[in-house]
Structure 1
Amino acid sequence: MTANTAEPTEPADGQHPEDDAHRAGPAERRREQRGWYFYDFACSVYSTSVLTVFLGPYLTSVAKAAADAEGYVHPLGIPVRAGSLFAYAVSLSLVVAVCAMPLAGAAADRTGRKKPLLAVCAYLGSAATTGMFFLEGDRYLLGAFLLIVANASLAVSMALYNAYLPQIAEPDERDAVSSRGWAFGYTSGALVLVLNLVVYSGHDSFGISEGTAVRICLASAGLWWGAWTLVPLRRLRDRRVRGAGGEGAVGGGWRQLRATLKDMRRHPLTLSFLLAYLVYNDGVQTVISQASIYGSEELGLEQTTLITAVLLVQVLAVAGALGMGRMARTYGAKRTILGSLAVWTLILAAGYFLPAGAPVAFFCLAAAIGLVLGGSQALSRSLFSHLVPRGKEAEYFSAYEMSDRGLSWLGPLVFGLAYQLTGSYRDAIISLVIFFLAGFVLLARVPVRRAVAAAGNPVPERI
């Protein structure tokens, strides 16, 4: 792996260590922004092909093959309904991420070296995803383990990746830059899904079994993730932090984390936004990760139908991310996000009543999801970037990433428990409505202009 290792010059006395980034010329900023986009391009294939489409139904089938007569598997002696295993594994992976992200963020801010940490997380996740090729038979424990490693690695890497946004984009650029990043991710997801659809639907002509085709699609996502990560590692640059020590970075990271937790109490409005985001994004992430299980197990849809539906989501999410970015310039990011949460609530209500074996209705629902998915995520990220005190980017974005992925364990846990208790995926899916309703109320109460000013940042004309 080759990366740009040129070190930036030390800031002059009295300068903030991040000021150099904000004084960079437009050409230098654009170069970093283009490199930054490509991490979304690299890792979004995991979220799309692995987490959303293939792994849920496939791991569930592997768990069912290992289940006892009552339909339970027994990891560590704990009785778990085979249909709930995937949701529980997703939930556990995010608990693991909670433990790792604050340390990674604090260490990155202390040392100023986010790139090496980003590389470690990206390639650990890539290797675990590629290893899913060996998931077959009744190896449900292997599948759950690889899922936990890959998903936790993705969450930590995204915290480090998101922390670059305030460093590479001026305040009035961030909505557009963040939206383009999401658009890059959805573009790559759509491209690889087309290839997955060819491999899966034509597995007989390729002389391979259906299970082998799924395992090839899973492993190829890991290879894609690792290969395209080289681009941001070459384009992005580390910013040296004054007085940072190399050998004491880990211990210093914990001390810095404790200081950050105290510091965050000084910014209650930023914390209010994080709480709102934690709640509504928990619903978003659970819908993304459990949609294929709902479609295959409850609605009885074929895998090719699910792939096509997710492909539709990917294509429309690009337009949705860019379109909602334009809406934010007119109405402000907060109002645009609130509108998307109202649409999410209607989507879940419609999903509850969706008839089984009706692919056209499922496609309509997928189209609605695509139009709000990218925009709600991109605008949430750019809005939060305005609420972060300068110099605390990686640590605050670790807290944000906890809300984005690391603390989104509650939704999958509720989903899995609902199915375990009722045996109905419809009951599980409708339980997620509460996350969007509560998130809407909490976000509506946040005075974002005051929050930006309280963080010491310039207030954009529209926010």
Structure 2
Amino acid sequence: MTANTAEPEEHTADPADRRREQRGWYFYDFACSVYSTSVLTVFLGPYLTSVAKAAADAEGFVHPLGIPVRAGSLFAYAVSASIVVAVCVMPLVGAAADRTGRKKPLLAVAAYLGAAATTGMFFLDGDRYLLGAFLLIVANASLAVSMVLYNAYLPQIAEPDERDAVSSRGWAFGYTSGALVLVLNLVLYSGHDSFGVSEGTAVRICLASAGVWWGAFTLVPLRRLRDRRVRETGGEGAVGGGWRQLMATLRDMRRHPLTLSFLLAYLVYNDGVQTVISQASIYGSEELGLEQTTLITAVLLVQVLAVAGALGMGRMARSYGAKRTILVSLAVWTLILAAGYFLPAGAPVAFFCLAAAIGLVLGGSQALSRSLFSHLVPRGKEAEYFSAYEMSDRGLSWLGPLVFGLAYQLTGSYRDAIISLVIFFAVGFVLLARVPVRRAVAAAGNPVPERI
């Protein structure tokens, strides 16, 4: 480790103050999840693809920077590029947050940059596919960076035995807001003629409104969360020592191989989760031939059931432990993907059944993964370690979208790509099953919960 270390203030001890911070913390999920739902999962994929097709040549290719790209692959490539950008930024932000103790200002910058880029999607029309790709890269990378800081608050605002429940409630808040806004989106999109706007304008309003929502509700956590003091033991500034702090973090993580083993497992299975989230609307519209209203309804179903799923799996974790509950969810994910491969085109009822199954495991698998990792983080290194977690969550989830895009580029069929995602869940299951989590918690110097 370098000489420039920071001793953090202990987590909030007073129960009333801790609950107040927890309630404020939930609202960042409430704020930013609308982007993930309305923008990334529902509207932007099909809409950006249609914009790219409008700009494509006779063979169906666009040429950003002179590179031939099939119009149908642009969205997947842009998602992958946004993650590469996030990878370059997240570790520095995490190191700076832990060195200075000022997570909140950094969270504000990342959140409002992402919200502004999302609001700017209102101007995505005609053949402006490059503008759309750029705004997607900025918004998606900003979301990933903000989540590093948001997740790093969890060990500070919740006692060890509270974290599964607190993390699950955060996800439930997010899915609730996603469902609420998606209902409003569905009303506007399906009745755009009665509102006097075109279908394209309705989509652009839905995209931009997600940015406004993100920015507005971010005010709540910024008011309620508080930064912890740090005591610097060295003289180097936080900005100048950012890269050295990052290198120290990477060296320090080698001292916790069981934490790294969990991160590897999470990296693999979460790559599958993130690819399903970002590419589901493309698969439904382009491969299955489903209408946009059907896709919106299906994602709305996912949002509603994900609230129950997140809370229900949180209760299961209290009885059976987070690790076992996550393993069950991965087995269900594998069955879902296998069923999705054989899903017939033009069958909305079957698609709704698949969406319902996804909703029941989506929130719980993500919430419990976050809370389980929080037990594996050495105290005082929350933001740095959660930057590595976020790299596994969003930052290194570039392989799935890239493979998805390449498969379509080479074969012209999205169905050929989806079966590959089963590998991510199967391998992730095996890797997670091999992690001795109780030993991992103890090795990180944290108290071991009764069930984990």
TM class by smaller structure: over 0.9
Distance 1:296 1:4 in 2: 52
CA shift digits 1:281-336 (9 cap, x unpaired):
00000000000000000000000000000000000000000000000011110010
Q: TM-score, normalised by structure 1?
A: 0.95
Distance 1:305 1:83 in 2: 20
- Where does 1:140-155 land on structure 2 (aligned, <5 Å)? 140-155=129-144
Distance 2:428 2:179 in 1: 29
Displacement of 1:246 in angstroms is: 10
Displacement of 1:2 in angstroms is: 35
- Are the equivalent residues in 1 in contact too, given 2:92–2:246 (CA < 8 A)? yes
Distance 1:8 1:386 in 2: 17
- Are the equivalent residues in 2 in contact too, given 1:320–1:372 (CA < 8 A)? yes
Alignment size in residue pairs? 452
Displacement of 1:256 in angstroms is: 1.1
Helix, strand or coil: the match of 2:255?
Answer: coil
Indicate how the Cα distance of structure 1 residues 402 and 8 shifts in structure 2: closer, same or farther if over 3 A, else same: closer
Indicate how the Cα distance of structure 1 residues 76 and 451 shifts in structure 2: closer, same or farther if over 3 A, else same: same
CA shift digits 1:81-110 (9 cap, x unpaired):
000000000000000000000000000000
- Are the equivalent residues in 2 in contact too, given 1:4–1:237 (CA < 8 A)? no
Indicate how the Cα distance of structure 1 residues 31 and 312 shifts in structure 2: closer, same or farther if over 3 A, else same: same
Distance 2:380 2:262 in 1: 19
Helix, strand or coil: the match of 2:185?
Answer: helix
Distance 1:318 1:230 in 2: 23
Distance 2:4 2:287 in 1: 49
Distance 1:4 1:290 in 2: 43
Q: TM-score, normalised by structure 2?
A: 0.97
CA shift digits 1:333-389 (9 cap, x unpaired):
001000000100110110111111100000000000000000000000000000000
CA shift digits 1:46-68 (9 cap, x unpaired):
00000000000000000000001
- Are the equivalent residues in 1 in contact too, given 2:275–2:397 (CA < 8 A)? yes
- Are the equivalent residues in 2 in contact too, given 1:110–1:244 (CA < 8 A)? no
Partner of 1:120 in structure 2?
Answer: 109
- Are the equivalent residues in 1 in contact too, given 2:4–2:234 (CA < 8 A)? no
Partner of 2:429 in structure 1?
Answer: 440
- Are the equivalent residues in 1 in contact too, given 2:4–2:232 (CA < 8 A)? no
Displacement of 1:253 in angstroms is: 1.9
Helix, strand or coil: the match of 1:251?
Answer: coil
Distance 2:345 2:234 in 1: 59
Matched, 1:459 2:448: yes
CA shift digits 1:398-451 (9 cap, x unpaired):
000000000001110010001111111111111111100110010000000000
- Are the equivalent residues in 1 in contact too, given 2:4–2:235 (CA < 8 A)? no
- Are the equivalent residues in 1 in contact too, given 2:10–2:156 (CA < 8 A)? no
**Identical residues among aligned pairs (%):** 94
Displacement of 1:248 in angstroms is: 2.3
Distance 1:160 1:245 in 2: 23
- Are the equivalent residues in 2 in contact too, given 1:2–1:230 (CA < 8 A)? no
- Are the equivalent residues in 1 in contact too, given 2:110–2:143 (CA < 8 A)? yes
Displacement of 1:28 in angstroms is: 0.5
- Are the equivalent residues in 1 in contact too, given 2:38–2:210 (CA < 8 A)? yes
- Are the equivalent residues in 2 in contact too, given 1:111–1:246 (CA < 8 A)? no
Which has the larger displacement, 244-253 or 370-379?
Answer: 244-253
Helix, strand or coil: the match of 1:242?
Answer: strand
Matched, 1:59 2:34: no
- In angstroms, what is the RMSD of aligned CA positions? 3.7
Distance 1:250 1:86 in 2: 34
Distance 1:3 1:184 in 2: 40
- Are the equivalent residues in 1 in contact too, given 2:404–2:418 (CA < 8 A)? yes
Indicate how the Cα distance of structure 1 residues 5 and 440 shifts in structure 2: closer, same or farther if over 3 A, else same: closer
Partner of 1:380 in structure 2?
Answer: 369
CA shift digits 1:238-288 (9 cap, x unpaired):
001101799922122211111111000000000000000000000000000
Distance 1:247 1:80 in 2: 46
Distance 1:261 1:90 in 2: 26
Distance 1:430 1:247 in 2: 50
Indicate how the Cα distance of structure 1 residues 376 and 203 shifts in structure 2: closer, same or farther if over 3 A, else same: same
Unmatched runs of 5 consecutive residues or more in structure 2: none
Partner of 2:328 in structure 1?
Answer: 339
- Are the equivalent residues in 1 in contact too, given 2:24–2:220 (CA < 8 A)? yes
Displacement of 1:3 in angstroms is: 32
Indicate how the Cα distance of structure 1 residues 214 and 268 shifts in structure 2: closer, same or farther if over 3 A, else same: same
Indicate how the Cα distance of structure 1 residues 40 and 161 shifts in structure 2: closer, same or farther if over 3 A, else same: same
